[in-house]
Amino acid sequence: MEELEHVVVAVQKSPTHRHIARALIARLAAIESAKRGSPPDGREKEIIKAVKNKLHQTVGAFVEGRPDYKKALRALAAAAREEDAVAREERIRAVLQQAMQFHASTRERLPFLESFYRDALRDISPPGRVLDLACGLNPLARPWLGIPDEAEYLACDVRADLTEFVNGVFAACGWKGRAFVRDLLSDEPLPKADAVLLLKTIPCLEQVEKDAGARLLARLDAPHAVVSFPGKSLGGREKGMRENYAAHFLGMLEGTGWKQRNFVIGEELVFVLSR
């Protein structure tokens, strides 16, 4: 529809949203337009505003301001040139921790990074390939995962600026793997993996489509998955949020064949799935 094309172009023009995959913008334009009846004549402005609001809630809000990714990559390159191996590893980790602060989800996990992955991956044999869905800046946590150096780390997010930065980090650190742009609401097949990470993202997807979590779960091609939920919104602690997500997700798992164990670390509710 021509009106929807106008909406997509208008949203893409905004500096805050220009890095977001077109597929998601077009999907939201169609959803917001359908809510207002068809044809949505004369309601373009209203639809553009609604699309931008949804993009802010589900994508934009997690990265505040304009992180200086180039500066972080320069610091990483300098750290990687350090000759002493122990000092090099320490410096690289320090730069990565600094950069993980750019994204709210990794920032919240930083104090628990080591124990988070020790607990989450303890029953999973060392994976040959990890797939990190809606990754944010979590791929920067790779040294804390304790996975083999030769393991491949694939990651995707709907924001191209994030995946570009993650690819720069992988190149600077000489890690095997790559990041790519993907709207997880689309039904495109996902790469096969030994372990999938789907951290704090189901609620974002379900804000757009109610069945998005269940649909995504059904598309995973992996024997193990670590799926987590936030215990508080970006604004602060919300009473009962974890309990509600736990009940919702356990319901979603029924009849799927996944076995689960779960634990809470910091504010995050973590499910480890195996089948």
Ligand X SMILES: C[S@@+](CC[C@H](N)C(=O)[O-])C[C@H]1O[C@@H](n2cnc3c(N)ncnc32)[C@H](O)[C@@H]1O
Which residues are near ligand X by CB under 6 A? 24, 58-59, 62, 105-106, 134-136, 138, 157-159, 182-185, 199-201, 204-205
Q: Which residues pair with 260 in a beta bridge?
A: 273
To the nearest whole angstrom, how small is the minimum distance from the Cβ of residue 39 to ligand X? 26
Give ∠ CA 18-22-24 in degrees, rounded to 5.
Answer: 110
Q: Which residue lies nearest ligand X, judged by its C-beta?
A: 136
Residue 181 DSSP SS3: strand
The nearer residue to ligand X, 80 or 241, going by C-beta atoms, is 241
Which residue spans within 6-151 are E strands per DSSP?
Answer: 129-133
The 10 Å Cβ neighbour count of residue 18 is 12
**Look-up of token digits 């959803």:** 31
The nearer residue to ligand X, 179 or 184, going by C-beta atoms, is 184
The nearer residue to ligand X, 152 or 183, going by C-beta atoms, is 183
To the nearest whole angstrom, how small is the minimum distance from the Cβ of residue 147 to ligand X? 16
To the nearest whole angstrom, how small is the minimum distance from the Cβ of residue 207 to ligand X? 9
Report the C-alpha gap between 179 and 261 in whole angstroms.
28
Report the C-alpha gap between 52 and 113 in whole angstroms.
32
To the nearest whole angstrom, how small is the minimum distance from the Cβ of residue 228 to ligand X? 7
The nearer residue to ligand X, 77 or 180, going by C-beta atoms, is 180
Element (H, E) at 81: none
DSSP assigned state of 112? G
The nearer residue to ligand X, 3 or 267, going by C-beta atoms, is 267
The nearer residue to ligand X, 169 or 205, going by C-beta atoms, is 205
To the nearest whole angstrom, how small is the minimum distance from the Cβ of residue 114 to ligand X? 15
To the nearest whole angstrom, how small is the minimum distance from the Cβ of residue 236 to ligand X? 15
Q: Using the CB atoms, write b or e for 163-199: b if 16+ within 10 Å.
A: bebbbbbbebbebebbbebbbbbeeeebeebbbbbbb
Report the C-alpha gap between 170 and 193 in whole angstroms.
18
The nearer residue to ligand X, 75 or 270, going by C-beta atoms, is 270
Three-state secondary structure string covering 237-266: ECCCHHHHHHHHHHHHHCCCCCEEEEEEEC
To the nearest whole angstrom, how small is the minimum distance from the Cβ of residue 87 to ligand X? 28
